[in-house]
Amino acid sequence: MPEQTHDTFEKTILDQSGALITVLNRQGRIVYFNPSCERVSGFSAAEVAGKPFWEVVIAAAQRDSIQAEFGRALQGRFPHHFENTWQARDGTQKRIQWASTALLDDSGSKVEYLIGSGLDISRQSSGELPLLEVLNQVELLTVKLDSNGVIEYCSKHLATLSGHHSDSLVGQKWIERLIPEPQQAPVQQTMQRQLRDDAAPSVDEYPIQCKCGMPRLIRWHTVQRRNAGGAVIGLICFGEDVTEERQHSDEVRLAATVFESTSEAVMICDIQQRIIKANRACQEITGYGIRELIGKRPLFSRIDYNGVDTELDRFFEQARQQGSWQGETWDRRASGEVFPAWLTISTVPDDHGDIAHYVCVFS
């Protein structure tokens, strides 16, 4: 691929929050559909993979004109700028401002894939969004392989992430150079499957090894490359780094396991100090079912005849001011039995530092 095309390609694929990224083959079928596309359209990447994009997100009355626009894009100069309207799963209309460019075939003269970067401007005039400035921040992990797994093209972002220069990777074996040894055999099997003549585009997750020694987990969207005769000659993989996403998912699962397995009663309360979640230990200690607890305040069984618990109000106020409160108090079980409890109330802030939830733990 000519160096100029590489540069344009790098500037037109945007992988940041709020930006829509699509990769389409020459038939307009969806190869890559990033999380922002999923959020705006209401469709998952798995649902739309391999489908003509105009059949997924374009209203029937507009499909002919969009197909014609797509045909012009295949023949035109790049970057190509336009606007269209997406119809989301729920029927809402989303106005999208696009800049697109092309990934050319080996001859450098024919468009192999069309890459679009877009912004949802439904609530703004198109002039209010600095699309070209945004597109200058493009980052997409892209590697082009021949049928033997040799790297023919590596995007700058992928090279930077791995700690290499893109030129030093071209001509190297993809698996031997960038895949951690424990994953090399399964990745080789995956590639062999993807190179079969009847293989469909696929989405797989496997890591790349970085020079720093730490692997990065990548979600790869892989499509075949074919020559003029239709024979499979290699693969193109478009990737997104999901390392933090996976770590966050693991942390959430771990927290959920701890939440349910701890012997202490744990209640999560909203900003109004109402219970929105409670664990099994809370049910076992108090004798109240979890459904009975939801919507109530902690220690609700001990309120006075006026429905007031001034002591609990004081506990929450101190937690609000100081970030947490702990001390000895008492509660009443469903059976009527009164028991002492060591209570801790902690605040959980939102992204702006305001209190979003309270966590109450007692034993």
- Do 249 and 178 share a structural domain? yes
Q: Which domain holds residue 247?
A: 140-259
Band (78; pLDDT cuts 50, 70, 90): low
- Do 279 and 203 share a structural domain? no
d(CA 18, CA 37): 9
Band (56; pLDDT cuts 50, 70, 90): very high
- Cα distances (angstroms) measured from residue 208 to each of 154, 179, 184: 13, 5, 10
The tens digit of pLDDT for each residue in 178-210 reads 999 999 999 999 999 999 988 887 888 999 999
- Do 150 and 66 share a structural domain? no
- Do 121 and 8 share a structural domain? yes
Domain boundary among 234, 259, 284: 259
Q: How many domains, the chain?
A: 3
d(CA 91, CA 262): 45
Band (4; pLDDT cuts 50, 70, 90): very low
Which tokens hold the place of 122?
């439904």
pTM: 0.53
Q: So what's the pLDDT on residue 124?
A: 53
Q: Collapsing DSSP states into helix, strand and coil, what is residue 258?
A: helix
- Do 233 and 190 share a structural domain? yes
User: What are phi and psi for residue 259, nearest 5 degrees?
Assistant: -55, -45
The tens digit of pLDDT for each residue in 303-354 reads 654 555 778 889 999 999 999 999 998 888 889 898 898 999 999 888 788 8
- Do 134 and 13 share a structural domain? yes
- Cα distances (angstroms) measured from residue 120 to each of 131, 136, 153, 216: 11, 17, 31, 30
d(CA 76, CA 29): 19
Q: What is the CATH number of the domain that holds 225?
A: 3.30.450.20
Q: Comparing C-alpha atoms, which of 195, 20, 184, 191 is closest to residue 99?
A: 20
Pairwise pLDDT comparison (40 vs 122), residue with the higher score: 40
- Do 284 and 195 share a structural domain? no
d(CA 102, CA 98): 13
